[in-house]
Amino acid sequence: MKRYSAAIFDLDGTLLDTLGDLCGAVNTALAAQGLPPITEEQTRERVGNGIRNLILRSLPEGAGDAAADQCLAVFRAHYEQHLHDRTRPYEGIPALLRALREQGIKVAVLSNKYDPASKRLIAHFFPGLVSLTLGERPGVPRKPDPTAVLEALEALGEQASDTLYIGDSGVDMQTAKNAGLDSAGVTWGFRSREVLVKNGAGVLIDHPSQLLRYFVQPETLADAFTGRGFGFSYFQTAKEAVDYLKGVCRGKQAGFGGSMTLEGLGLYDALREGGEVQWHWRGDAPSTAPEVFLTSANALALTGEVVNIDGNCNRAAASMYGSEAVYFVCGVNKLAPNLTSAVSRARNIAAPRNAQRLGKHTPCAADGKCHDCRSPERICRALVVLLAPSNGVKHTEIVLVGEELGY
C-alpha cells in the first residue's frame, strides 16, 4: 500500500462543517436586497467554487454584477463576525490531524474560501496542526486550477507523488488530477459518492480514521502495543501473515472468532492442512478455550488499545479468557488515531457493515451510521476495549498486516 509524507486537505465539507454559518451569511446578504432566504440544502448544492459563485447561484437569474458585489460585501461583513457560530470540525478530524502531526506528516489546507477567513478558521479549530493554509487570493486562480496546489507543494518541500489530496467535491478531485496528485474523496461532506467517483476520486473515505493507513508506517507502531504488554508483529502482505500464523498454530488446537479478516486470509483452510482447527462459521461449535485463539479487532488505536464490538460475545469472551495465546489479526484499515476514534470506527464502520452483511433490520444497515439503536436485531451487545492483555491469557499479540482486510 502506498504511503504519503504529506497531505493537502480541502476545508469546507472536508475538515469543517461550515454549512450553517455560510447559509446564515448568504441569507443576511439576500435579506439586505429584499430577497427570500435559501436553505442549508441549497447552500450545500451551491458551495465549492468560491463565495462569489455561491452568491451568484443564490441570486435571481440576471441579477447582475452590481447586486452580486453588494451581496458579497454584506456576506463578508456578516461572515467575519459569525465565522464559527455553528461551524464545527467533523467527528474524528482533530484526532486525525494530531495523529498526522505525531507521525511527522506535513499538512496543508487549500480552500476556495477567501484567504483571511480560511486562515482564521484553521487557527481557531486546529492550532498548531496545519503547516500552511491557502485560501482564495486575488491573482491566483481558484481550484480546480492546480496553481495553488503547486505553490503548497513548494512551500512544504514535497513532491506531488508523495502527497495525497483529500477533499469532498468534484472540484477537489479535479484539482488533484490537474496537479498530478493522488486523491481521496471523503463522503461525509457536501457531495455524494457518485460525484466523487465521476470526478476521478482515487479512493472513497467514509471516516477520518480510514485515512491513517496512507500515512502511518505500520512497523513504527510496535511501541504503542508492546508498551501495554501486547506482543506485536507486522507483515507487509497477507501471505506472510498466514505463513507466520501457520507456524504459531503448528501442533496446537486453534479456534477462530467470527471475522471477515480471517475469512479473507483463507486462514481456516491453511490451518486445516496442518492440524486441528475449529470455527463456528464452518459448522463447528464456537471456540471457547482453544490453545490458540485467532480473531480480529474492529479497531486498533495508535495509542495501543484494541476495540471490539460483539453480539453473541463468544469472540469477545474468548479473546480475554481461556486460551494460552490470543492473536488479533488486523489489516491497516483497522488503525484509528486514538481510543475515541477507534470506538467510533467500530460503531460507524465495522458494526454497520456487519449489520448489512447479516441482513439485519437496524438503522445502521440502512445508512451506514450507528444510531445506538434499541432494535431487537441490534448486533452491538458488548463493546470491549482491551487496555492491556488479559491476565487470563498467557500471550496476546497484535498481528498487523499492511493490506486492507475485513472491515
- The residues that touch ligand SF4, with contacts defined as CB under 6 A, are 347, 351-352, 355, 362-364, 370-373, 375, 378-380
Residue 165, classed as helix, strand or coil, is strand
Distance of closest approach, residue 27 Cβ to ligand SF4, in angstroms: 34
| 273 versus 367: smaller Cβ distance to ligand SF4 | 367
Name the E strands within 253-373: 253-256, 276-278, 292-295, 299-301, 306-310, 325-331, 335-336
| 290 versus 352: smaller Cβ distance to ligand SF4 | 352
Residue 224, classed as helix, strand or coil, is helix
Q: Judge whether 10 counts as a catalytic residue.
A: yes
| 65 versus 367: smaller Cβ distance to ligand SF4 | 367
The residue sitting closest to ligand SF4, measured at its beta carbon, is 364
| 78 versus 315: smaller Cβ distance to ligand SF4 | 315
Catalytic, out of 10, 21, 172, 310: 10
Burial class, 150, CB count within 10 angstroms (exposed 0-12 / middle 13-18 / buried 19+): middle
Cβ distance 378 to 310 under 8 Å? no
Distance of closest approach, residue 312 Cβ to ligand SF4, in angstroms: 14
| 119 versus 345: smaller Cβ distance to ligand SF4 | 345
| Residue whose grid cell is 452590481 | 66
Q: Please calculate the CA angle 232-234-237 and round it to the nearest 5 degrees.
A: 150
Tell me the C-alpha distance between 114 and 72, whole Å. 11
Can you say how many angstroms the Cα of residue 52 is from the centroid of all Cα atoms in its chain? 31
| 146 versus 258: smaller Cβ distance to ligand SF4 | 258
Distance of closest approach, residue 297 Cβ to ligand SF4, in angstroms: 16
- What DSSP letter does each residue of 18-40 carry, written as one string? -HHHHHHHHHHHHHHTTPPP--H
Question: Which of 80, 65, 74 has its CA nearest to residue 34?
Answer: 74
Tell me the C-alpha distance between 182 and 163, whole Å. 7
| 205 versus 351: smaller Cβ distance to ligand SF4 | 351
In sequence order, the 6+-apart residues with CB closer than 8 A to the CB of 288 are 255, 314, 317, 318, 322
Distance of closest approach, residue 334 Cβ to ligand SF4, in angstroms: 16
| 13 versus 352: smaller Cβ distance to ligand SF4 | 352
Tell me the C-alpha distance between 233 and 212, whole Å. 19
Distance of closest approach, residue 346 Cβ to ligand SF4, in angstroms: 9
Question: Which of 242, 334, 341, 245 has its CA nearest to residue 296?
Answer: 334
Tell me the C-alpha distance between 262 and 242, whole Å. 9
Tell me the C-alpha distance between 301 and 338, whole Å. 5
Tell me the C-alpha distance between 214 and 353, whole Å. 22
Query: Angle formed by the axes of helices 51-58 and 64-81, to 10°?
Result: 120
Q: Would you name the residues annotated as active-site residues?
A: 10
